[in-house]
Structure 1
Amino acid sequence: MQAALNISLRLALFNMAKNVTEERDELRRINSDIEASCKNLTEERDDLKRKLNDSVSQQNSLTEERDELRRINSDIEASCKNLTEERDDLKRKLTNSINMAKNVTEERDELRRINSDIEASRKNLTEERDDLKRKLNDSVSQQNSLTEERDELRRINSDIEASRKNLTEERDDLKRKLNDSVSQQNSLTEERDKLNRAIQGCRMELEKLSPARWMYFRGSFYHISSDQKTWQESRRDCQQKDADLVIINSKEEQDFTRQFQKYMWIGLTDLQTEGTWKWVDGTPVTKSYWGPKEPNGGSGENCGEMKFDSENSWNDGSCSLSHFWMCEKKVRP
């Protein structure tokens, strides 16, 4: 029994020792695994620390770069705002400059037109003055001739007085000649006074009409419109100026009106009787300058217009169209 007990104890101790050995070996393996895991975790921790430091450094760099970009962006926004304000100011200045240039150009063109009108009016008045001077010189020459003839008649009359009885018939004849001469002189005097009144009236009309750009030509003043209206509206505008649409009675007047090179209404119409063209003063057309195959518009084109591109430049057009127009104001002596 003692032996069996010893054997049982030995077996128990052997099994215990075996279990302890196995447990030790297992603990060693576990410890080795833990050490390996701890080493790996330490290396991973160190690597994460490095990465964290790198991330923090990169974040600091990015933060600094962000702040720098913010400052640059703020500077750019301020510069952009200043440039925008400067651009808007330059735009306003450019617009003002363009408007000023446009106004100056329009004023220059208007002054050129006024100067051209004044030059044409001055030329016409100079020609009329020279013509009147010639007529006046002719009148003075004729008056001198009449004076000489009068003196001659006086001498003859003195001779007649000396021989009245024999020269009674000759005296009577000379008296009749003298009366005719006096009548002629009176007629010349009246004509001279009439011409002076006409000159004065012309001057008054020119002083009154020149500001409205009226031009004088052979006894009439002419005005060119600056806008466009229908034929009836154009005529109404002329009548409000104590004038009427232009009436063309000669080649010289046709050439005068063509020189302005505007497509415009003239005082010609067949509104009263289709096909019977008359001037606005009711007179028939005695000299015409119709274009080729004109008039040809029938009842749809009843108002006369001028195209200016050739001597025969008249055309019949619809009265409702809008054109420039020319007014004519005749000078009353």
Structure 2
Amino acid sequence: MSEQQGSIKDLTTEQKQLTDEIKMVKLSQMSREREELIREREEVTRRREEVTRRREEVTRRREELNQKRDELNREREEVTRRREELNQKRDELNQEREEVARKTEEVTQEAEEVTRKTEEVTRKTEEVTREAAELKWTLGFFQKFDIFSINNYCPAKRCKPCLHDWIFFQKKCYLFYNEAAPWKTWEQSRRFCQDRRADLVVIDDLQEQEFVSKHVKSYFDIQWGYWLGLQQTNNTWTWVDGRVDTLGFWMKEELKPAGPKAGLMPGRNPSESWNKADSFFQNKFICEHEAFQSLW
């Protein structure tokens, strides 16, 4: 009986131990499960917070995008408005440019017309001025040469630049005195020319020198030539118009007797044909005056 009771007691003790162990295991397992649940709950909470954070970020970005979209829409509307304004201004500028071009063309045409009329008026004024000057010169010419009738210059209604027996060259008329002896001194020759409203010839250049040299002829003796309007005054050779001679077409050898008056010797090189002669010497001579300019 005692053994049986002892066995029962042992069994009871074992059962209790087992029960305690089971409880401990269950408690331990429950503790682990609870910890696991806590971790899972924390993870869920963390994930939920992450999702919430991401949702808020997405919401924020969506709001930013919406805001940017609204800004872009406003900018697009502003750009559209400005483009329309620019198009309107461009159209207005094109119209103004066309108007300016039209007015410019009108002004250009008017300016060309004014220029043409001005040129026409200027041309006519110049013609009238030239005709008036020619008439004035012609009147003065005939008043100056009052010893000649207008018929001497304009026979048969047709005017000539020079009188009969005078030779025309470079707007001047020349008379080569070729009468028979007795000839004339330098002073007599000049007086003869002046009586005809002319003067002894003044040589301006080599071309004129060559012209007069071509029209003079040798006569009587090598010492005789044609008086020029050139004389020595105060040791300076001066033309009858007051100009000092700068050409110096003198002969290399002087013919005697030398003097203060200059003559052109025929048959010589034009650039070496002037001779210095005495005042009393008698020569032929050359007269010169301006030509009747209406026929120049």
CA distance in 1, matches of 2:54, 2:162: 125
Q: Confirm whether residue 35 of structure 1 aligns to residue 35 of structure 2.
A: no
1:245 corresponds in structure 2 to: 176
CA distance in 2, matches of 1:13, 1:46: 47
* Kept in 2: contact 1:291–1:315 (CA 8 A): no
1:291 corresponds in structure 2 to: 231
2:170 corresponds in structure 1 to: 227
Cα deviation code 1:240-266 (max 9, x no counterpart): xxxx53678444334331499996969
* Kept in 2: contact 1:297–1:316 (CA 8 A): no
1:211 corresponds in structure 2 to: 159
* Kept in 1: contact 2:193–2:199 (CA 8 A): yes
* Kept in 1: contact 2:202–2:230 (CA 8 A): no
Cα deviation code 1:64-114 (max 9, x no counterpart): 111111111111111222222222222222222222222222222222232
1:114 is aligned with what amino acid? T
- 3-state SS of paired residue (1:290): strand
* Kept in 2: contact 1:290–1:313 (CA 8 A): yes
- 3-state SS of paired residue (2:51): helix
* Kept in 1: contact 2:189–2:200 (CA 8 A): no
CA distance in 1, matches of 2:49, 2:57: 12
**TM-score normalised according to structure 1 size:** 0.48
Bigger Rg, which one: 2
1:175 corresponds in structure 2 to: none
* Kept in 2: contact 1:268–1:278 (CA 8 A): no
| Map 1:55-94 → 2, pairs under 5 A | 55-94=79-118
* 1:70–1:277 Cα change, 3 Å: farther
* Kept in 1: contact 2:199–2:288 (CA 8 A): no
Shift of 1:28: 1.2
* Kept in 2: contact 1:289–1:314 (CA 8 A): yes
Shift of 1:203: 7.6
Structure 1 unmatched runs, 5+: 127-201, 216-220, 239-243, 280-284, 301-311, 329-333
| Map 1:261-300 → 2, pairs under 5 A | 276-279=223-226, 290-292=230-232, 293-294=236-237, 297-299=249-251
CA RMSD of aligned residues (A): 4.8
* 1:84–1:319 Cα change, 3 Å: farther
* 1:30–1:327 Cα change, 3 Å: closer
CA distance in 2, matches of 1:75, 1:205: 64
* Kept in 1: contact 2:200–2:288 (CA 8 A): no
Name which of 9, 12, 25 aligns with 2:49: 25
2:147 corresponds in structure 1 to: 124
1:44 is aligned with what amino acid? K
* 1:297–1:33 Cα change, 3 Å: same
Is the helix fraction higher in 1 or 2?
Answer: 1
* 1:26–1:206 Cα change, 3 Å: closer
1:290 is aligned with what amino acid? L
1:212 is aligned with what amino acid? K
CA distance in 2, matches of 1:44, 1:203: 109
* Kept in 1: contact 2:153–2:161 (CA 8 A): no
* 1:327–1:55 Cα change, 3 Å: closer
1:257 corresponds in structure 2 to: 198
2:250 is aligned with what amino acid? G
CA distance in 1, matches of 2:78, 2:110: 46
* 1:316–1:46 Cα change, 3 Å: farther
**TM-score normalised according to structure 2 size:** 0.53
Shift of 1:27: 0.9
- 3-state SS of paired residue (1:212): coil
CA distance in 1, matches of 2:169, 2:130: 13
* 1:86–1:75 Cα change, 3 Å: same
2:198 is aligned with what amino acid? T
